[in-house]
Amino acid sequence: MEMCPRRKGARVGCGSLPKWFLFLTLLVSFVSTSQPGYAIPAFARKYGLPCSACHIGWPLLNNFGIAFKDNGYQLGNDKDSPIYQNPAYFPITFRVTPQWHLENTNKVAIDQTGTEQGVTTHGFDLSGLDIWTAGTLSKNISFQVLPSMEEGDSFHFESAWVRFDNLLNSPWLNVKVGKFELDNLLSEKRFLTLSGVGGAWFNYHFSPQGDINGFGGIGDNQLGVELSGHNHNSYSRYSISLLSSVDGNPGLTTSLGGVANSNTARSYDVYVNVNQGFPIKGLGVQRIGAYAYVGLSPTYYWTTDGGQTAVQAKGNRSFSRIGAFGWWFIKDLDVETFYMHGQDNVFLGNGVATNDAGSLPAGAAGPTWNGGFVEAHYTVNPQFIFTGRYELVHMSRQANPGLAATPNLGNVDSFTIGYRWYPIMLSRAGLAIHNEYSQSKMGNLAPLSGTDQIQRSVMVGFDFDY
Amino acid sequence: MTVNWKQWLGSLAVTAVVSSAVWAQESHVGNLIGHAAEGKKAYRRYCVGCHGSLGDGNGDNAPWIDPKPRDFVAATFKCRSTPTGTLPTDQDLFNAISRGFTNSNMPHWDSLPVQTRADLVAYIKTFSPRWQSEKPGEPIKIPAESAVTAQSIEHGHELFQKMECWKCHGQQGRGDGPSAPTLTDSKDQPIRPYDFADGRDDSRFKCGSSNEDLYRIFMTGLDGTPMPSFADVIQSNDAWDLVHYLRTLQVHRHSKENEVARGSGGKTVSAGKPSGGS
């Protein structure tokens, strides 16, 4: 292509530049000048704000988004009540993630060969469908209902709650009832990684080997009531939740060793989270916080019908997940840091019923572990964001001397890198191109050799909502 | 492929000049210095959807927003501490961003760091040439508030009638005066007078929530709206009396003015009913 007509003897002013330089320049220009994104449509349609107003890069919330959420999805400009909306408005968003992905696990015990082999699967797939509806029923009464379709086309309610906001005209008093995400400032529901390995924080779901605790982790949505509050700009926040010991499963369903039993629950858990933000000039709002989850889980059941039907959870024993976190901003770079100390009761850790204490191995103890992660995001612009994470969970005490013979058993070391580019984000729809690679090493979990097992995920897909 | 890199360099030079103009624009809010270059990034993240990339109030969402987003090119601002017709101070713009505007789509942005808000002020000022040729007005002086008495409230009521505030705001402050349906703003968009009677304990005015804010509103006026400045019409004591009376129109609000009014037998409140009404 001739961009400059040649003139006889004219060499100056019509030179040539390498093609790669032009391509690079155009690419950098495009990325650095992209228009900002527009939001999760349920609220964008209501308030007309760009999605980048609430999200560092959706779905990750920024300070304004945190304040909006804390205020019960209200901006506080006297237009929050549905009565002010066009009657055609309905607060609903669909989110779906069509993708191609590859999953690889080494050292899998293969029946046909009798040896450990690497296993790789890949193909086009669908992560599911979130039908997310949320907003206000009236001024200071907010709600969220989130039916989610899993692979296999079955539905479950990931969230369903109502919240009474600003009680006594105070932002420090809000009460939420139903099934909801725990008030984790570092939200697993809103993070930027989606692959098979990187699509969850291990710390948020970790359980030691051989443990029968039915608690799925602080990343699971729970059923209960939450009292929460915040100051005017949500830099200071707290929440206290009283939760049924059902790991978010309706029907008073407890579980033991992965087996669920409905209509058996009879105990409660407590979750507390406090955090504080403090702005540093020129850098952003830094946040630090601490949390504690203390709960109970059964070790056996009373049964009826000759042992066929569990009717009441028994032998409840305690567990806890406590720790601290920080979220640090250096302009467009933000870094999340997280620490957790976990502990399960000796009966839970050894899979022994409390009415069968004699079955505890000699030297048995409650398993304990420590974990954490560092996750960074670099926002090139509201439409382009890089992410990277290193995470580990290491056992500090195994449940019995037999397990302690392999002290690294169950340890996790993992990393994830990826980026999200939002080329199309209008006020009524958004599309992200999502590329991610993640890998984890599971300590001594190879079934035959007892060595470390590696899992890898590659994901190339689209994440869109409308 | 060949490229006229002279044109490229020329474009870069123009970009550099524009960029330097943006860099040069600052705001001063207390001890903070806001920078337009940083403000531009924040503007693109938070504001462009409504106010538009040119700052003219024609963002993608503007057609669905009522009232319409502010046109920064016109540089006509409702909430100022400065006399009518003058530019607001940087602090005024900072306060407006932080406070938001009731009964509009403009939320309060006080969850943003103060530096970001100061940067936004600096960038907003790059949209209009007025900021290059004019200086902001001198903030008006607000004298100490006079005592709330039955007499001050009654006098405020007399001023309300005399200055014909009721023509727009209605005799009971419901924003339903005879002129209300005809009101338009400087962009010929219909505009509603403030409804005092709907006010609760958490009510806000367009430019604040305190008595001082109310005093400031009718001494500076709300530029770009039919609400004029009364600075040349009434004295400060009269203005405070008017403030006290307007507070009694907020009949559902707990206030000293309402206590005094009720203590005087509700005389002043009932006096606000339409003449000839039941």
Task: Say whether pLDDT at B5 is over 90.
Answer: no
Task: State the nearest Cα–Cα gap between A8 and chain B, in angstroms.
Answer: 15
Per the model's pLDDT, the better-predicted residue between A17 and B267 turns out to be B267
* Residues of chain A positioned with their CB less than 8 A from the CB of B105: 47-49, 75, 77, 79
Q: Report the pLDDT value the prediction gives residue A29, as an integer from 0 to 100.
A: 42
User: Under 8 Å CB-to-CB from A37, ≥6 apart: which residues?
Assistant: A50, A51, A52, A55, A57, A58, A382, A383, A422, A425, A430
Token pair of A413 as six digits: 């070391």
Q: Please list every residue in chain A whose beta carbon sits closer than 8 Å to the beta carbon of residue B50.
A: 48-49
> Residue type at A174?
N
Q: Is residue A425 part of a domain?
A: yes
CB contact under 8 A, A169 and B53: no
Judge whether B65 is closer than 8 Å to chain A, CB to CB.
Answer: yes
**Candidates B2, B46, B108; nearest CB to A14:** B2
Least CB-CB distance to A233: which of B1, B61, B111? B111
**Does any domain span residue A343?**
yes
| Closest by CA position to A288, among listed A327, A340, A321, A322 | A327
Using a CB-CB cut-off of 8 Å, the residues of chain B touching A285 are 113
What DSSP string describes A431-465? EEEEEEEEEEEETT--TTT---EEEEEEEEEEEEE
Res. B174: pLDDT tops 70: yes
CA torsion A73-B110-A287-B34 (nearest 10°) is 140
- Regions of chain A short of the pLDDT cut 50: 1-17, 20-39
Pairing between β-strand A155-164 and β-strand A368-381 as defined by DSSP bridges: unpaired
Question: What are the φ/ψ torsions at residue B110 (nearest 5 degrees)?
Answer: -75, -5
| CB contact (8 A) between residue B64 and residue A233 | no
Establish if A214 belongs to a structural domain: yes
Tens digit of pLDDT for each residue in B210-234? 999 999 998 999 999 999 999 998 9
Show the beta-strand stretches assigned E in A59-216: 60-61, 92-110, 115-138, 141-149, 155-164, 174-180
Would you state the pLDDT for residue A9? Answer: 35
What was the pLDDT predicted at A41? Answer: 60
Q: Give me the mean pLDDT over the B65-86 stretch.
A: 94
Q: Do B64 and A48 touch (CB under 8 A)?
A: yes
Question: What's the confidence (pLDDT) of residue A216?
Answer: 94
The predicted pLDDT at position A35 comes to 38
Q: Three-state DSSP class for A94?
A: strand
DSSP H/E element including A394: strand A384-397
Q: What CATH number has the domain bearing residue A288? A: 2.40.160
Tell me: pLDDT of B11 over 60: no
* B46/A53 touch (CB, cutoff 8 Å), yes or no: yes
Residue A9 lies in a domain: no
For residue A341, what are the β-bridge partners? Answer: A322, A370
Condensed to tens digits (0 to 9), the pLDDT of residues B230-241 reads 999 899 999 999
Give the total number of structural domains in chain A. 1
The residue segments making up the domain with residue A277 are 99-127+185-465
Which residues does chain A have within 8 Å of residue B100's beta carbon, measured at their own beta carbons? 75-77
Q: How far is B278 from chain A (nearest CA, A)?
A: 31
Q: What is the mean pLDDT of residues B66-92?
A: 95
**Residue from the list A49, A64, A78 with its beta carbon closest to the beta carbon of B111:** A64
H-type helices in chain B, by residue range?
5-24, 36-46, 48-51, 90-99, 114-124, 130-133, 150-162, 166-169, 211-220, 236-249, 256-263, 267-270
**Among A248, A454, A212, residue whose Cα is nearest residue A346:** A212
Say if the Cβ atoms of A64 and B48 lie within 8 Å. Answer: no
Please list every residue in chain B whose beta carbon sits closer than 8 Å to the beta carbon of residue A334.
none
**What pLDDT sits at residue B10?**
57
For B101-110, how does the pLDDT look when each residue is reduced to its tens digit (9 = 90+)?
A: 988 889 999 9
Q: A345-365: buried (b, 16+ CB within 10 Å) or exposed (e) per residue? A: bbbbbbbbbbeeeeebeeebb
- Is it true that the peptide bond before A59 is cis, omega within 30 degrees of 0? yes
| Assigned token pair, A299 | 């070790």
Task: Report CB contact under 8 Å: A4, B3.
Answer: yes
Whether B272 contacts B173, CB under 8 Å: yes
**Among residues A363, A341, A348, which one has the least CA distance to residue A318?**
A348
Q: What pLDDT is attached to residue B76?
A: 95
pLDDT (0 to 100) of residue B132:
92
Least confident of B8-22, B63-77, B129-143: B8-22
B198 vs A contacts (CB less than 8 Å): none
Q: Is B45 in Cβ contact with A49 (below 8 Å)?
A: no
% of chain B exceeding 70 in pLDDT: 87
Cα–chain center distance at A107: 28
Residues near A160 by beta carbon (within 8 Å), at least 6 away in sequence: A144, A145, A146, A178, A179
Instruction: Determine, yes or no, domain membership for A196.
Output: yes
Give residue A424's pLDDT: 74
The per-residue pLDDT for A94 is 87
Mean pLDDT value across chain B: 87
pLDDT-above-90 percentage for chain A: 72
Cβ neighbours of A38 in B, within 8 Å? 49, 60
* Within a domain: A28: no
**HSE-CB for A271 with a 13 A CA cutoff:** 26
Q: What is the DSSP letter of B68?
A: P
Nearest alpha carbon to residue A324 among A185, A182, A162, A418: A185
Contact A77 B110 (CB under 8 A): no
Residues 6+ apart with CB under 8 A from A114: none
pLDDT at B243 over 60: yes
Does A58 map to a domain? no
Q: Tell me the one-letter amino acid at B158.
A: E
Tell me what pLDDT residue A83 has: 64
Contact at CB, A427 and B110, closer than 8 angstroms = no
Residue A454, domain member (yes or no): yes
**How far is the alpha carbon of A382 from chain B, nearest alpha carbon, in Å?**
7
CA B70, CA B97: separation in Å to the nearest integer? 12
Q: Which domains does chain B have, with CATH numbers?
A: 23-133 (1.10.760), 150-270 (1.10.760.10)
Distance separating alpha carbons of residues B122 and B38, to the nearest angstrom: 9
